[in-house]
Amino acid sequence: MTGLGIPVTDDHIHIDRENGRGTEAAKDFFRAGGTHMFLVTKPSWSHAVHPVTGDEFRDVYEITLKTAAAIRETGVVVFPIFGVHPAEIGRLTERMPLAEAEAVMKRGLDIAAEYVEEKKAVALKSGRPHYPVNAEVWEASNRILAHALALAHDTGCALQIHAETGPCADVAEMAAKAGIPVKRVIKHFGTPDTPLMPSLLARSEDIPSCAQSGLTFTMESDYMDDTSRPGAVIGPKSVPRYTRKYLEEGSFTEDDAWKIHAETPAEVYGVEITLS
């Protein structure tokens, strides 16, 4: 391990032992100086799961739990995040009516919330399509997102959202209606202008100015671990490597790094992030 003497946390990463490099990617993260990761479930079809009921998402969650256990053997601290990718609605409506697809996704989120309640996952994942869809699909997706926010409130956990590029200011209003603090709604692949908690891609040119201005944010790679798309979105070493770069060039201080990688995610997710 090439340690930086501070925790280094990837707020959104996928590790796939079926279709990607699996634990070898986690080892790369660790050797580069990474210490903690929030392991996010991949879409169901990534694991050859094609649900027709929400309960079948349990198969995806169990696969992710086994992956988390394998990653921990490398020395990385893993926090699983379970949920239903918003793009599932497109796949589901190929084989069932929209109303049924909405019910399946909501049930999948119900199952994910059970894992949070059992302390097997630390947060939920939901969102809405980041690509153009018709009004009916958009409205259904927002109802699914509202359901996820309600579940996050009821279970007392954070919610990561995958959504369109931009601030998603209306989601802050949805969070307020659900009674969940907006700081516990994380905008994955976020931008500094969001009222939600931004998780910024590690290579983002905004990071130095965001740190210097005191903006509260986390860092992510959104590494997909798919051999058909190697290095997408950026590689597993990215968060520790960019953190080292920003520290060495003085773009942010060690105090900034502690805030980004330990204090903020610990507060947002209700977990402990320390160096062992």
pLDDT score recorded for residue 192: 97
242-268 pLDDT, tens digit per residue, is: 999 999 999 999 999 999 999 999 999
Ramachandran class of 251: left when φ > 0, alpha when ψ lies in -120 to 50, beta otherwise: alpha
Q: Which helix (H) or strand (E) holds 161?
A: strand 158-162
Instruction: Retrieve residue 215's tokens.
Output: 């903006």
Instruction: Retrieve residue 264's tokens.
Output: 């903020």
pLDDT score recorded for residue 1: 43
Domain made up of 9-269: CATH architecture: Alpha-Beta Barrel (3.20)
CA angle 72, 78, 80 (to 5 degrees): 125
CA distance 172 to 182: 6
- Within the chain, which residues score under 70 in pLDDT? 1-2
Going from N- to C-terminal start, the domains of the chain cover 9-269
pLDDT score recorded for residue 141: 98
